[in-house]
Amino acid sequence: MITQTLKFVKQHYLRLDFSDLFYKTFLFIVGVSIFMSLIFIKKTTVTSFFTNPIIYLYAIFVSIFRLSRIGSAFLYKRSLKTLMSAGMVSYEPTITFIIPCKNEEFAIEKTITKCFEADYPKNKIEVIVINDGSTDKTLEVLMALKKQLPELVVVNWKKNKGKREGMAEGFRRANGEIVVQLDSDSYIDPKTIHSLINPFINPAVGGVCAHADPENSDKNWLTKIQAAYYFVSFKIQKAAESTFHLVFCLSGCCSAYRKDIVLPILDDFLQEKFLGLPITWGDDRSLTNWVIKKGYKTVYTDEAQAYTICPEDLKTFFKQQVRWKKGWFVNSVLISKFLYKEHPFVAFTYFFPLFIISIMTPFIAARALIYDPIVNGIVPIIYLLGIFLITALTVCYYRYIARENKYWPYIFIWSLINMAVLSFILFYALATIQNRKWGTR
């Protein structure tokens, strides 16, 4: 009787798992202590305020910025719900998957079959593959697949035209109301397709980005680090952007667009130039920019789950990083003017601060890690401690939202690599920005 009552009470009044409650309370206490320590080391930088105001302001600025991202990510679910408040009756528009691919003989089959397995009315699904001049057996794989799945639309280009053209072709041929763009090495979990489509119930939404994790996470230390990084960049960075309905990069791995919005801007998208040359990286960012410029909202949902393949060796990894940095820089410049007029709040609380920090970080890091130790004999303890504490706070949040995710220790390694190597890659990327070679993987 008593156990039954307790069970009843627990089920109806205390819908909490106690172990989880303790876990979260523990994380909260750790988080608060880290925050206090962070303030405490600011005490040391305060003394440098008079001698070195730039360093002091930078330290405060970066800390606040990183904390604000976590705070913003915290609000993301609430913000996403407000978009879909107009009744959740079965909303099932027609959808088209478009998959531009080149030399993808091993991965493409899974990408396509997962589309057909989608938990969605079959008559409302269309799949278009654009074979962009593959030189391997991709075409043979596609033709074999076409025999099993007659609904598959294959567009075959003998000559390589570039990913942008492939994407555009997909949009032009699509019959669906919503277009889901997939990378040839990525696929979406068939069960979560509804979550990706649902936000479009709100007519103001132009694009939705799915959550993506590397499929090959456990391959080696590099992929483990990237798994951690993907988690942070989606669950914190993109979620934080999504809180204000402005996600600046609907990931190329798996994102959905409202076709009616994209069609009129395809020409602009294709002819986009930077410093007189066509842009060959950051296609996903660029398309997102156009959607935002049209005045539509772009959001992220972590309920739609996609998987992708991340680089397994350093060379490919750095190449990818360089392309991402270039894409980020060029598209940030292209959207900045528009943004501060139309979305001043986001521009000044997020967009410009991020831009300034990205440019300053390599200088500050070089000063703290190289110049000060050599010239002034200062060991950069405070600097490293600051980075460590901010990262630790990020990890706290990480553990808070995903207790089961095991890659969190790699966040610390990522932040070290980011400070010592990746932040400097920006300069390499800028120096070689006129090199527009089509350099996927």
Partner 1 sequence: MNNHLKKIKISFSVAILSLIAIMIGGGFVMKDNNYFTGEQVSQTINYLKYKLSFAQTNNNNLTASALTLFSNSNLTIIRNDTAKSIPVLLYHGIVPASDRFSMTPEAFKNQMFALKRAGYETVKIEDFYDFINGTKDLPDKSFLLTFDDGRKDSYLEADPILRVLGYKAVMFAVTSNSLPENSKVSNYYLNRAELQTMINSGRWEIESHGKQESHNDKINSGFVQISATEEKGNFLSNLMWLPDEDRLETLTEYEVRLQDELAGSKKIFQDILGISVIAFAYPFDDFGQQSVNNIMISKELIKEEIGINYKLAFHQVWDNDSSYTFNYKLDNPLISKRIESATDWTGEELISYLEKGRDKSLPYADLFLNNNGWKKYWGSLNFSDNSLIIGARNSTTGSGILLDGSYLWQDYIVNTVVELTKGQTFSLLARYKDDKNYTVCSYSDKSIRAEQSVNGERKILYEWNADFKFIGKIKDVGIAVKGDVVDCYLDKQIAVRGLNLDKNLSHGGIGFKTWDPQMNNSELIIKSVSVEETK
Question: Can you state the percent helix, strand and coil of the chain, rounding each to 5?
Answer: 60, 15, 25
Residues in binding contact with partner 1, number by CB under 8 A: 29
Eight-state DSSP code of residue 98: E
Alpha carbon distance 427, 157 (integer Å): 36
CB closer to partner 1 out of 75 and 263: 75
Give the nearer residue to partner 1 in terms of CB position, either 168 or 392.
Answer: 392
Binding of partner 1 by 67 (CB under 8 A) = yes
Q: Pick the stretch among 243-251, 265-273, 282-290, 390-398 that binds partner 1 (CB under 8 A).
A: 243-251
Q: Give yes or no for residue 75 binding partner 1 (CB under 8 A).
A: yes
Least distance between partner 1 and beta carbon 349 (Å): 7
Three-state DSSP class for 252?
A: coil
Which listed range, 70-78, 105-113, 143-151, 332-340, lies at the site for partner 1 (CB under 8 A)?
70-78
Q: Per CB under 8 A, which region of 127-135, 211-219, 238-246, 326-334 contacts partner 1?
A: 238-246
Give the pairing of strands 205-214 and 254-258. antiparallel
Distance in Å, CB of 203 to partner 1, minimum: 11
Q: Is there binding between residue 83 and partner 1 (CB under 8 A)?
A: yes
Q: Does 82 bind partner 1 (CB under 8 A)?
A: yes
Q: CA neighbours within 13 Å on the CB side: how many for 240?
A: 21
Least distance to partner 1 from the beta carbon of 169, Å? 35
Cβ closest to partner 1, residue 383 vs residue 414: 383
Identified binder of partner 1 from the candidate list 22, 106, 345, 371, rule CB under 8 A? 345
Site string (156-195) toward partner 1, x via CB under 8 A:
----------------------------------------
Binding piece for partner 1, criterion CB under 8 A, among 62-70, 257-265, 326-334, 424-432: 62-70
358-361 long-range Cβ contacts below 8 angstroms, 24+ apart: 358/328, 358/423, 358/426, 359/426, 360/58, 361/62, 361/419, 361/423
Asked if residue 43 binds partner 1 (CB under 8 A), the reply is yes
Under rule CB under 8 A, residue 51 binds partner 1: yes
Residue 169: partners with Cβ closer than 8 Å, 6 or more residues away: 100, 130, 155
Question: CB within 8 A of 61, min separation 6: which ones?
Answer: 353, 356, 357
State how far the Cα of 127 lies from the Cα of 23, in Å rounded to an integer.
Answer: 44
| Candidate segments 5-13, 38-46, 160-168, 363-371, binder of partner 1 by CB under 8 A | 38-46
- For residues 408 and 402, give the distance between their C-alpha atoms in angstroms, rounded to a whole number: 10
If one asks whether residue 427 binds partner 1 (CB under 8 A), the answer comes out as: no
CB distance 251 to 287 below 8 Å: no
Can you tell me the distance from the alpha carbon of 209 to that of 93, in angstroms, rounded to the nearest whole number?
Answer: 17
Residue tagged 């920006």 (tokens): 426
Q: How far apart are CA 154 and CA 148, in angstroms?
A: 13
Element (H, E) at 31: helix 18-47
∠ Cα 79 84 89 (to 5°)? 155
Cβ 167 vs Cβ 181: under 8 Å: yes
Q: Stretches 82-90, 184-192, 299-307, 403-411: which one binds partner 1 (CB under 8 A)?
A: 82-90
Pick the stretch among 64-72, 99-107, 230-238, 312-320 that binds partner 1 (CB under 8 A). 64-72
390 lies in the binding site for partner 1 (CB under 8 A): no
In the bound state with partner 1, the residue whose beta carbon lies nearer, of 6 and 57, is 57
Residue 75 or 143 having the CB closest to partner 1:
75
Residue 303 main-chain phi, psi, to 5 deg: -85, -20
Q: How far is the CB of 346 from partner 1 (least distance, A)?
A: 9
Which of 152, 158, 143, 145 lies closest to 102 in space, CA to CA?
A: 158
Among 16, 39, 275, 277, binds partner 1 (CB under 8 A): 39
The yes or no reply on residue 203 touching partner 1 (CB under 8 A) is: no
Nearer to partner 1, 60 or 265 (CB): 60
Task: Please tell me whether residue 71 binds partner 1 under the rule CB under 8 A.
Answer: yes
Quote the CA–CA distance of 209 and 24 in Å, as a whole number.
28
The residues near 16 (Cβ < 8 Å, ≥ 6 apart) are none
State the minimum distance, in angstroms, from the CB of residue 32 to partner 1: 12
Please give the residue ranges that form the binding site for partner 1 (CB under 8 A). Answer: 38-40, 42-43, 45-47, 50-51, 60, 63-64, 67-68, 71-72, 75, 78-79, 82-83, 85, 202, 243-245, 345, 349
